[in-house]
Amino acid sequence: MPPQRIIKEGPAPGIVVSLSLMMLFCVAVSLFFFSGQSLRLDEAQSLWQSGRDPGSILAVIAQDVHVPFYHLLLHFWRLFVGDSISSARLMSLVFYVLSIPALYFLGRLAYSRPVGVFAALLFALSPFMNWYGSEIRMYTLFTFLVILNQYFYVRLMVGRASEHVWIGYALTAILGVFTHYFFFLNLGGQALFYFLRRDLFPKESLRYFVGIALIIAAVFLPWVWYVGTQGTIGYQNPALPTPTTVNLFSTFSQFLFGFQSDHLNTFFLSLWPIVLMLGLLTLRKHARLTPQAEYFTISVLAAVIVAFVASFIVPIFVSRYLIFTIPSLYLLLASIIDIYTPRFAKNVRLAFVLLMLVMLGSEVASSSTPVKEDYHAAVSYINENIAPQDILVASAPFTIYPIEYYYRGPAPITTLPQWDRYRFGPIPAFDESQLPQQVETLAGEHQNLWLLLSYDQGYEERIRLYFDTHYERLMIKNFSPGLNLYVYKLRYDTPLSRESSR
Amino acid sequence: MSNNDLYYPNPRKDFLKTESPQSLFILNAVMAAVYFTVLLFLPPGNKFLFALLIAGEVFHVWQVLTFLYSVWETDYRPPSRRLGQDAPGVDVFITVAGEPIEIVEETVDAARKMYYPNFKVHILNDGKVANKENWRDIEALGARLGVNVITRTVAGGAKAGNINNGLRFTSNPLVAIFDADHVPHPHFLARTVPYFTDWKVGFVQTPQFYKNFATNYLTRSSWEQQELFFGPICKGKNRLNAATMCGTNMVINRHALLEVGGMNTESIAEDFITGLLMHNKGYRSVYVPEVLAEGLATEDLLSYSKQQFRWARGALDVIFRYNPLFMRGLTWAQRIQYLASASFFLSGAVVAIDALLPLIYFYTGEVPVHVSGMILAAVFLPYLFLTLYTIQRTCNFTFTFPSLGFSIGAFNIHLRALWAALSRQRSAFSITPKQAAKGNFLPLVKWHIAYIGAAVVGVPYSIWREGFSASLINNIAWALVVIVTFLPIIRTALPEDQKETRAARRPIPYTDPTLGPRSYAPAKNN
């Protein structure tokens, strides 16, 4: 292992300014472009879950696919900072912005100042990170904790272990596993690397790592037991498809260029031989794969491969769950570019910066950005137009969260299949044979049915077809990718005529 | 130290610090098998193109597997003995055919000063039969330095004929051979002769180091190509008793050489074939992984092309004329090793196939496989990067993109050699020039430039035909990869690159820190 240059002093003034500008950039992007966006399904769920008392939060999170640290933190954040969407999003922004200098320090420790700065710059420009920097979810907290945890791990690797480092490592690991289940993949990657490169670590490290693993097990097992007693893990969440190799590569494409339209995403994926070219160009004299690069490679690949393979048993492959690999990916990218000849490296860096900026702009501005969920616009439209004798039906059922957040209309609201989320148990499964009866029940005395379809769970088209073939469709309106409003005429008589006929 | 410094901490030793991570080799072989299997089961597009693609990939997988087999263990060193008063006599041959007198003088002078008790230096002067003006100067040089000059008067057999002629006028049991520009280190004989432990050792080969490697981009790149071969590959061949005879910086058992009829004069790669014939007769070979002589790399693209053609033409003779599969005296390991080395020069055809696939798509829309999704990328990228990492690990991270680019970019030379070998054309032996030629070398890369032109025209045509499709974008990316790998060789054809680089002025001194003047012990195993 090459000797480490130990940088004890703080960052140079130029770097402080650079990092500050990066942080400001992220704040500005969030304030000017993302803060005005509609509440999305996941965000609404977070608000709904964290709006309860801590005991109830534990109960609802245990029934979800997540762990409770973020929601508890959000609960108290809302108490102290405010209960608006903006203030809830601010918490994610804080962790995102804090991650930028954290990543710089990790890069500086693992490689060099320039690598740290460029990785931090990529992180600040990242369309993917900026998206989650303004989302009321645990992903930026998760990423922040992973960066800190990796910082301590790399310190151990480069022979700079101390009690503080071990404590920092243990603490971030414990908080991490209570932030997202996928934090275990981060720890798994570290364990794999430790197994392969045991020689890089202090002699007594095995004892410490085992001790920390036992502590994590001791604090986490009660949660596992608690979730087990709830017995309903994941029933409220969207069904995930089994991933394909396109999903696998789309994840990396999203990590670099954010959420883009299908056309743009296909364009990026089709360019995959360029990865080969950029790899070949790193073949330079004595450009070795350092232990740090080995570690970050394992950190990224092990997590992605495990999630991908595991998804053939239980579908869990979602790019946002793997967000914690982004710091490692950007550090690897920055260090690889550093291998090139200075002039070429400069051009590649410039190309990445420009491309990411353009893609960030595209993600913000494009109406075809696939993750955009404009429930605000949809429900605002409904609020203005729905009548008391109408009924609003949401499907899939869990989309009730963001709809309900905005809905102020006079008509009743329900879901299809019908679901009472205050009752214990899973969301009822869709049964096509029951559909006519369910619709008849819903229709009742109502005049028009406003059907808001989003988050297709495999039966959206059948619901739409049923209504199309049984009722007169009055209008259709699209608000964002996959979010469509249909209005159907349920009956032609009026309440007045019905009254008189009786 | 920054990664961005092209840095040669110890150019004479770095490439010899090889490594054999066998678990990585196994993983690499498995990945190769997985990749090939997946490729085989992809739905074919155009069946002819699919067959070509599969043939090319069979070749690539063969290359990877034989490479892994070669470098499986690189630390083996054959037995040697300590030399005493019984040190066998050595005739040192310096083959000359018109090289500049100062270059020859440096080599002869260094040969005279070798630390060894029993040797005699001979200049094998071929200048007269080669119609070189300075052949009399060589004779005068020999007289001045007090070494024997054997001037040939009857032409034939090129360098091999010159050596065979030298054998007739000398008698020592061992023969050391140096090209005119390959300056031996003082302890060359002391390091190599001890490996002649018995009469069954046929030859001992040492690396062909280029002391002028830092002169320009071409010398640097061609040396970097050599590093992989003289590093892990040759070290690995040692264990399989399949060292490659390279024609210079070597010591040969005279008896063995005479038994195979002297240096082979039938092929322009006389050394390679002679080594093969010696192995076939049951003689052993040794590779000493230590720079013990220093020569000159070709400094211009024309000379490089000629040298590559000679190597390729000679190596392909092994496949088409001296096929080791049918040589009963060889072990299977030796057969595989010779085929692996020789088949490298078939890569020209495979490069051409792979490079043409995007062009064929641009102009016809035909593809070898119909890949939906990213399955090909999912198996190809890990396989390829793992292979590159394996190569880098084995050769101490000395493999570079320019060396890869030169191997790929020489496809037209290899194709020409393949055609010459298939059509049994006689190819004249040409001595590698020792000084840079001047001139316009762009015609040497006309195929590469034509490729770029065809791609530039083909892309808009393809867009006009079908618009921007995923397949088109993918093929544009592939064409770009091919073009980028052609750039190193195109660069050396440009007039600007013929100027000496700054690195050339940086001295790369040779010092001999380890040996005293009377030590004949072989180096310890690495």
Interval A285-311: pLDDT, tens: 888 889 999 999 999 999 999 999 999
Neighbour count for residue B86 (Cβ, 10 Å): 8
pLDDT computed for residue A498 by the predictor: 65
Contact of A90 with A222, CB cutoff 8 Å: no
pLDDT computed for residue A217 by the predictor: 97
Tell me the H-state helices in A30-126: 41-50, 54-62, 69-81, 85-110, 113-125
pLDDT at A500 exceeding the cut of 50: yes
CA neighbours within 13 Å on the CB side: how many for A55? 0
Residue percentage of chain B with pLDDT more than 90: 71
> What CA–CA distance (Å, rounded) separates B223 from B245?
18
* Structure tokens that stand for A247 in this block: 């999903």
Residue B441: pLDDT band by 50, 70, 90 thresholds? confident
Q: For residue A345, which residues of chain B lie inside 8 Å, CB to CB?
A: 4
At A290, phi and psi to the nearest 5?
Answer: -75, 160
Check CB contact under 8 Å for B404 and A280: yes
Burial of residue B437, with CB atoms counted within 10 A of its CB: 0-12 exposed, 13-18 middle, 19 or more buried: middle
Q: For residue B8, which residues of chain A lie inside 8 Å, CB to CB?
A: 285
Interval B304-345: pLDDT, tens: 999 899 889 888 988 888 899 999 999 999 999 999 999 999
In 3D space, the residue among B151, B158, B152, B211 whose CA is nearest the CA of residue B181 turns out to be: B211
pLDDT computed for residue A418 by the predictor: 87
> What CA–CA distance (Å, rounded) separates A145 from A318?
19
Of residues A248, A272, A339, nearest to B477 (C-beta): A272
SS3 readout for A307-346: HHHHCCCCCCCCHHHHHHHHHHHHHHHHHHHHHCCHHHHH
pLDDT at B515 exceeding the cut of 60: no
Q: For residue A289, which residues of chain B lie inside 8 Å, CB to CB?
A: 389, 392
> What CA–CA distance (Å, rounded) separates A269 from B474?
8
Residue B422 forms contact with A (CB below 8 Å): no
Three-state DSSP state, B121? strand
pLDDT at B513 exceeding the cut of 70: no
Task: Tell me the shortest Cα–Cα distance from A283 to chain B, in angstroms.
Answer: 4
pLDDT at B449 exceeding the cut of 80: yes
* Structure tokens that stand for A314 in this block: 């239980």
Tell me the H-state helices in A111-199: 113-125, 127-132, 139-157, 163-177, 183-196
Residue A4 forms contact with B (CB below 8 Å): no
Of residues B374, B399, B468, nearest to A272 (C-beta): B374
Check CB contact under 8 Å for B397 and A244: no
> What CA–CA distance (Å, rounded) separates A412 from A386?
10
Residue B34 forms contact with A (CB below 8 Å): no
> What CA–CA distance (Å, rounded) separates B117 from B518?
8
| Average pLDDT, rounded, for chain B | 89
pLDDT computed for residue A43 by the predictor: 94
Residue B384 forms contact with A (CB below 8 Å): yes
Phi-psi region of A499 (alpha: psi -120 to 50; beta: other; left: phi over 0): alpha
Three-state DSSP state, B370? coil
| Average pLDDT, rounded, for chain A | 91
| Residues found in chain A | 502
Contact of A467 with A473, CB cutoff 8 Å: yes
Q: What is the mean pLDDT of residues B424-452?
A: 76
Q: What is the mean pLDDT of residues A307-332?
A: 94
Neighbour count for residue A71 (Cβ, 10 Å): 25
* Structure tokens that stand for B281 in this block: 């007769």
Q: What residues contact residue B460 under an 8 Å CB cut-off, 6+ apart?
A: none
pLDDT computed for residue B442 by the predictor: 87
Residue A308 forms contact with B (CB below 8 Å): no
Interval B143-188: pLDDT, tens: 999 999 999 988 888 899 999 999 999 999 999 999 999 999 999 9
Highest-scoring range by mean pLDDT, A353-362, A434-443, B3-12 = A353-362
Instruction: Give the CA distances from residue B486 to residues B317, B404, B496, B504, in Å, rounded to whole numbers and listed in that order.
Output: 27, 10, 17, 24
Interval B493-503: pLDDT, tens: 987 655 554 44
> What CA–CA distance (Å, rounded) separates A288 from A306?
27
Q: What residues contact residue B85 under an 8 Å CB cut-off, 6+ apart?
A: B117
Q: What residues contact residue B19 under an 8 Å CB cut-off, 6+ apart?
A: B74, B393, B394, B396
- N-terminal to C-terminal alpha carbon distance within chain A: 91
Is A233 or A279 the better-scoring residue by pLDDT? A279
| Residues found in chain B | 526
Query: Which of A115, A285, A317 to mutate to test binding with chain B, by most B CBs within 10 Å of its CB?
Result: A285
pTM tops 0.90: no
> What CA–CA distance (Å, rounded) separates A143 from A324?
5
Interval A111-149: pLDDT, tens: 999 999 999 999 999 999 999 999 999 999 999 999 999
SS3 readout for B31-49: HHHHHHHHHHCCCECCHHH
CA neighbours within 13 Å on the CB side: how many for A371? 19
Interval B261-281: pLDDT, tens: 999 998 888 899 999 999 999
E strands, B288-386, where?
293-295
Q: For residue B7, which residues of chain A lie inside 8 Å, CB to CB?
A: 285-286
Q: For residue B478, which residues of chain A lie inside 8 Å, CB to CB?
A: 273
Task: Tell me the shortest Cα–Cα distance from B280 to chain A, in angstroms.
Answer: 38
* Structure tokens that stand for B221 in this block: 């790149």
- 189-228 of B, contacting A, C-beta below 8 A: 224
At A111, phi and psi to the nearest 5?
Answer: -125, -85
Contact of B400 with A281, CB cutoff 8 Å: no
Interval A39-72: pLDDT, tens: 999 999 999 999 999 999 999 898 888 999 999 9
pLDDT at B87 exceeding the cut of 60: yes
Residue A199 forms contact with B (CB below 8 Å): no
Burial of residue B18, with CB atoms counted within 10 A of its CB: 0-12 exposed, 13-18 middle, 19 or more buried: buried
pLDDT computed for residue B526 by the predictor: 33
Residue with tokens 């055919």: B97
Check CB contact under 8 Å for B477 and A271: yes
Interval A157-172: pLDDT, tens: 987 788 999 999 999 9
* Structure tokens that stand for A411 in this block: 């008509």
Residue percentage of chain A with pLDDT more than 90: 76
Is A124 or B215 the better-scoring residue by pLDDT? A124
Q: What is the mean pLDDT of residues A24-37?
A: 93
Interval A219-250: pLDDT, tens: 999 999 998 887 665 555 556 788 999 999 99
Residue A491: pLDDT band by 50, 70, 90 thresholds? confident
Residue B245: pLDDT band by 50, 70, 90 thresholds? very high
> What CA–CA distance (Å, rounded) separates B179 from B196?
22
pLDDT computed for residue B428 by the predictor: 61
pLDDT computed for residue A64 by the predictor: 81
ipTM computed for the complex: 0.87
Residue A421: pLDDT band by 50, 70, 90 thresholds? confident
pLDDT at B525 exceeding the cut of 70: no
Is A152 or A372 the better-scoring residue by pLDDT? A152
Residue B481 forms contact with A (CB below 8 Å): yes
pLDDT computed for residue B427 by the predictor: 64
Task: Find the farthest-apart pair of alpha carbons in chain A and give their distance in angstroms, rounded.
Answer: 93
Q: What is the mean pLDDT of residues B246-266?
A: 95
Sign, Cα dihedral of A353, A357, A363, A367: negative
In 3D space, the residue among B317, B489, B390, B443 whose CA is nearest the CA of residue B71 turns out to be: B390
Three-state DSSP state, B235? helix
Residue A345 forms contact with B (CB below 8 Å): yes
pLDDT computed for residue B321 by the predictor: 87
pLDDT computed for residue A495 by the predictor: 65
Residue B440: pLDDT band by 50, 70, 90 thresholds? confident
Of residues B6, B378, B480, nearest to A248 (C-beta): B378
Check CB contact under 8 Å for A286 and B7: yes
- Residue A485's identity, in one-letter code, is L
Nearest CA in chain B to A276: B381
Task: Tell me the shortest Cα–Cα distance from B358 to chain A, in angstroms.
Answer: 12
Q: For residue B6, which residues of chain A lie inside 8 Å, CB to CB?
A: 284-285
At B365, phi and psi to the nearest 5?
Answer: 80, 5
- Looking at residue B44, the DSSP 8-state letter turns out to be B
Q: For residue B351, which residues of chain A lie inside 8 Å, CB to CB?
A: none
Task: Tell me the shortest Cα–Cα distance from B171 to chain A, in angstroms.
Answer: 45
Instruction: Give the CA distances from residue A349 to residues A122, A286, A297, A354, B353, in Å, rounded to whole numbers and listed in that order.
Output: 9, 22, 20, 9, 33
What DSSP element (H or E) covers A476? strand A472-480
pLDDT at B287 exceeding the cut of 60: yes
Q: What residues contact residue B311 under an 8 Å CB cut-off, 6+ apart?
A: B269, B345
Residue B481: pLDDT band by 50, 70, 90 thresholds? very high
Residue B473 forms contact with A (CB below 8 Å): yes
- Residue B255's identity, in one-letter code, is H
Interval A396-412: pLDDT, tens: 998 999 999 999 999 99
Query: Which of B1, B2, B4, B367 to mutate to test binding with chain A, by most A CBs within 10 Å of its CB?
Result: B4
> What CA–CA distance (Å, rounded) separates B211 from B11?
9
Q: What residues contact residue A499 under an 8 Å CB cut-off, 6+ apart?
A: none
Q: What is the mean pLDDT of residues B504-515?
A: 46
Residue B513 forms contact with A (CB below 8 Å): no
Interval B389-436: pLDDT, tens: 999 999 999 999 999 999 999 999 999 999 998 888 776 656 566 566
Q: What is the mean pLDDT of residues B60-71?
A: 96
Tell me the H-state helices in A366-487: 375-385, 400-406, 435-443, 460-470
